[in-house]
Structure 1
Amino acid sequence: MRIVTGDDIGSVCSWLFAVEALRAGHVMPPADLRDSLVENGGRKMLVRTAWIPGLASGVKAVTIYPDNPSQTPPKPSVQGQVLLFDEAGGHVVAVLEGVDLTAWKTAGDSALGSSLLSRPDVSTMLMVGAGSMARPLIEAHRAVRPSLEHVMIWNRNTARAEALAKAVARDGVTAEAVTDLDLAVARADLISSATMSTEPLIRGEMLRPGTHVDLVGAYTPSMREADDTTLARGRLFVDSRATTIGHIGEVMIPMQSGALTEADIEGDFHDLVQGRVARNSAEDITVFKNGGGAHLDVMIAHAVYLALEGR
């Protein structure tokens, strides 16, 4: 059994590596998924399991302690590990650092969605939110769309947006913090949103034809980042029907109101990667919901393990 640290993961991972691992995983049969959530006084333990026939199986177990960052000394709010099992023999082949792997998985998920749905010539990106996933998302989107040359960043705390813009600019792209979200939405070719919002931030009436919208942050039944007009004007895709329908407010809330039906979701990664659905024209507005899931962690973990073993 191999112990894989965050540094080990970073030594073999790149955004294109992560994207290709996820792409290859969706040529395989759909995963069998199970989740378990235990809560205690605002603290949570989440266990997510996935079995991908012919590839691997795995378990991701994490704790979420919201008050940890305010402790002395500060501690991460999310901590955990991923266990990777050999699919044929059933034994554990690796234990991987869960927080680092999750970042590669989450941003890689959105980047794969962009590589399949955004226009190849997108040049201006809007990042909604300036939290821990914002910079990885910007980097991942730029990796699959090198035409991105300008990044706008909006955050409720403008100082955080300004700090992120300065950091992103050091990566060789022009970046700016913006305060008018509607105006920024109207300027963007690609929008990625990673917030904790329970009220829609992105207004669909502001979207221009050809925009790709990447929704990352809404991961509970009460959360959403885009309004009904966004979903009505756009062609809606998800990474996995199993982890979004009935689980995430971005699709649950409009389904409950009648603004959206399951039939309005045109495809998931299995459909997109295998060519059953695609962007049809440069004028399409495409909306992608990044819902996550342990199967994605297993795909990245398996690729990382093979890369480390092959050294």
Structure 2
Amino acid sequence: MQIITASQVHQHLAFPTVLNKLAQGFAAPATMPQRQIFELDSNPHNHDAFAVLPAWNDEVIGVKSFTYFPDNEASGYASLYSKIMLFSRAHGEPLALVDGTSVTLWRTAAVSALAASLLAKPNAKHLVLFGSGKLAPFLIRAHLAVRQYTQVTLVARNHAKAAAVITILANEFSGVEFAYVDQADEALISSADVICCATGARSPLFNGAWLTPGCHVDLLGNHHKESRECDTTTIIRASVYVDSRTNVLNEAGELLIPIKEGVFSAAQVKAELADMCRQAPNRSADEITVFKSVGTALADLLTAHLVLTLCQQQDKAEAAACLA
């Protein structure tokens, strides 16, 4: 059994490869039971949790386990710890233990960009990203792999983090204008072709009435029933897509709150990511779209398996070179 570290994950992955793997994997047959998330404390103000996410296809079986302790950083620990176990589908033997935290960064960003490749208008030029955390540079790189943005604006309260992200990316993408602001206003939102939200916000980040026809909204940060990154106006103005109906309709306030208000229904969700990968949505030029993602075990499985395959290919190449 191979042990794959975070540094190996980052070394081997590139977004064009990950995007292609996910597009093919979501279009193919796979099984993904409902993930299990266990709250570890009955205190409503404590969100410590443990989760188990299983999935398998005709090549590999996988399960990701992770802990989420949002207040950990104050004690010098990471808020998220994660590992992915891979097993052979043919015989069930263990194949690898893969660092799940790094895989989560790559697959979350790639799923976001994959959805945008299917839902955002082809000539999108302005990407607005809410959030400046560890996921931010991954999201921007992934989205720049599917659209030719000329402007990227970060909306972030932490100026130091936002400036650091921009400094890194400005050196990688010389043809893109990067900027950051404290908060979004109508002028910014109405100028956005794609809005990506990856925050810990408990309430809507912008007014849905500000959205311009043709805008695509991507919602990644919230996993709680009573919280949401967008308002009801955004949902009722948009065609809504999800990564997983089961997960989103059990966890995400972005849809559960409008459903509770009686202005939206589960039946109005257009499609899951797997449906979209099998047949691309036919959207009109002025249609507003929303993609809500809470993460899937299949995305973890596909990305971790890709890393394992690339590591094995490198090992074989190095072994051949030694024998040459």
For the aligned pair, the TM-score class normalised by the smaller chain equals over 0.9
Partner amino acid, structure 1, of 2:184 = L
Question: Aligned partners of 2:294, 2:206: CA distance in 1, in Å?
Answer: 18
Question: Aligned partners of 1:261, 1:88: CA distance in 2, in Å?
Answer: 41
1:219 aligned to 2:223? yes
Q: Conserved in 1, the CA contact under 8 Å of 2:198 and 2:221?
A: yes
1:243 aligned to 2:247? yes
Question: In the superposition, relative to structure 1, how do residues 279 and 169 fare at CA in structure 2: closer, same or farther (>3 Å)?
Answer: farther
SS state of the match for residue 281, structure 2?
coil
Q: Conserved in 1, the CA contact under 8 Å of 2:258 and 2:264?
A: yes
Q: Decide which structure has greater helix share.
A: 2
1:45 deviation in Å? Answer: 4.3
RMSD of the TM alignment (CA)?
1.8
- Residue equivalent to 1:301: 304
TM-score normalized by the length of structure 2? 0.89
Partner amino acid, structure 2, of 1:154 = V
Q: Conserved in 1, the CA contact under 8 Å of 2:55 and 2:61?
A: yes
1:243 deviation in Å? Answer: 1.4
Partner amino acid, structure 2, of 1:95 = L
Question: Aligned partners of 1:242, 1:25: CA distance in 2, in Å?
Answer: 19
Question: Aligned partners of 1:80, 1:127: CA distance in 2, in Å?
Answer: 25
State the number of aligned residues.
307
Q: Conserved in 2, the CA contact under 8 Å of 1:29 and 1:52?
A: no
Question: 2:212 pairs with 208, 211, 220, which one?
Answer: 208
1:283-302: CA deviation from partner (whole Å, max 9, x where unpaired): 22111111202221011111
Question: Aligned partners of 1:284, 1:43: CA distance in 2, in Å?
Answer: 36
In our comparison, the structure showing a higher alpha carbon Rg is 2
Question: 1:95 pairs with 94, 97, 100, which one?
Answer: 97
**Structure 1 runs of 4+ with >4 Å offset:** none
1:120 deviation in Å? Answer: 1.6
Long gaps (5+) in structure 1? none
Question: In the superposition, relative to structure 1, how do residues 163 and 12 fare at CA in structure 2: closer, same or farther (>3 Å)?
Answer: closer
SS state of the match for residue 102, structure 1?
helix
Long gaps (5+) in structure 2? 315-324
1:104-152: CA deviation from partner (whole Å, max 9, x where unpaired): 111111011011111121111101121221221111101111x111111
Question: Aligned partners of 1:48, 1:79: CA distance in 2, in Å?
Answer: 12
- Residue equivalent to 1:286: 289
1:84 aligned to 2:68? no
Question: Aligned partners of 1:222, 1:290: CA distance in 2, in Å?
Answer: 16
Question: In the superposition, relative to structure 1, how do residues 47 and 57 fare at CA in structure 2: closer, same or farther (>3 Å)?
Answer: farther
- Residue equivalent to 1:154: 155
SS state of the match for residue 3, structure 2?
strand
1:208 deviation in Å? Answer: 0.7
1:142-163: CA deviation from partner (whole Å, max 9, x where unpaired): 1111x11111111234454344
> Once the two structures are aligned, what percentage of the paired residues are identical?
32
Question: Aligned partners of 1:29, 1:12: CA distance in 2, in Å?
Answer: 26
- Residue equivalent to 2:179: 176
SS state of the match for residue 10, structure 1?
helix
TM-score normalized by the length of structure 1? 0.92
Partner amino acid, structure 1, of 2:300 = D
